[in-house]
């Protein structure tokens, strides 16, 4: 049976979202997006120039792919709301990734300002995807505010350190009624697979694909890993045991016969 992620009125068959930053060229970015078969791509508004007569990033996003503007560069709720409104006025979809960062060293999201922006934008009809530090109480507040999903970080942006917040993400998956999409820090396809095995609805990857020696091959690898992790989750993985349990019946060792 086909595994569908239903979100914001859309039916997605691919649970890998891909960011569009850091690629060496728009052409390479397009090839990677196609290889990943992604149906959702995030784009920073400051990288979009619809009036430009030269290359425009939007021209290189595959047709049929949902473009999700993000509020990268916003330092507070007011700036994030302004960016989202500009994106919608410019013809972008009403999907928006809220990204509010005041910390220039570790680039960790400001959960309080993110909640403020989510409350405003959700009331204005935006499909809100807030990037956040994993925190159960805040995730619940974001869900109550009307967020379409929550996007906890796996580790700091661009660090490629993997799912350092695993236990917190796992708690959110169990307790939050809206989709949990891990964003930031995933460095290897196995990291994405791990998130899906935990029951995450999707993952968002950018740096690990964009700066790989072969971004197109890496995009394909991440896509395969997401599918594998999701299938493992749906298949019901056995729990870990502290002792050995033979896979073949043991009636005695040879020396005992």
What is the CATH number for 25?
Answer: 3.20.20.70
Number of compact structural domains in the chain: 1
**Which pLDDT score, from 0 to 100, does residue 238 have?**
81
Mean pLDDT over all residues of the chain? Answer: 91
Mean pLDDT of all residues in 209-220: 97
Does the annotation count 97 as an active-site position?
yes
Question: What are 73's two structure tokens?
Answer: 């560069």
Candidate list 97, 123, 127, 188, residue with the active-site label: 97
Whether residue 255 is contained in a domain is answered as no
* 82 located within any domain: yes
What is the rounded CA–CA span in Å between residue 176 and residue 210?
31
The arithmetic mean of pLDDT across residues 47-62, rounded, is: 69
154, with CB counted inside 10 A (0-12, 13-18, 19+), is buried
* 110 or 91, higher pLDDT: 110
- Is position 22 within any domain? yes
**What is the average per-residue pLDDT within 215-229?**
97
- Residue 126 counted as domain residue: yes
> What does the pLDDT read at residue 66?
93
Give me the domain span that covers residue 150: 13-234
């Amino acid at each position: 049976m086909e595994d569908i992620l239903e979100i914001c009125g859309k039916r997605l068959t691919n649970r890998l979202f891909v960011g569009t930053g850091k690629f060496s060229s728009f052409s390479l970015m397009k090839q990677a997006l196609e290889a990943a078969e992604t149906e959702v791509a995030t784009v920073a508004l400051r990288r979009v120039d619809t009036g430009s007569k030269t290359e425009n990033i939007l021209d290189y996003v595959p047709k049929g792919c949902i473009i999700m503007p993000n509020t990268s560069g916003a330092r507070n709720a007011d700036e994030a709301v302004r960016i989202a409104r500009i994106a919608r006025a410019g013809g972008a979809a009403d999907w928006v990734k809220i990204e509010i960062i005041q910390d220039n060293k570790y680039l960790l999201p400001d959960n309080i300002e993110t909640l403020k922006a989510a409350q405003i934008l959700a009331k204005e009809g935006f499909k809100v995807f807030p990037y956040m530090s994993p925190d159960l109480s805040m995730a619940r507040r974001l869900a109550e505010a009307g967020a379409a999903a929550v996007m906890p970080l796996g580790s700091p942006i661009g660090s490629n350190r993997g799912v350092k917040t695993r236990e917190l993400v796992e708690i959110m998956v169990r307790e939050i009624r809206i989709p949990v999409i891990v964003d930031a820090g995933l460095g290897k396809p196995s990291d994405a697979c791990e998130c899906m095995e935990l029951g995450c609805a999707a993952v968002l990857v950018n740096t690990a694909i964009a700066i790989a020696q072969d971004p197109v091959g890496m995009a394909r690898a991440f896509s395969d890993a997401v599918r594998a992790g999701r299938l493992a989750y749906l298949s019901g993985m056995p729990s870990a045991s502290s002792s050995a349990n033979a896979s073949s019946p043991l009636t005695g060792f040879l020396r005992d016969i």
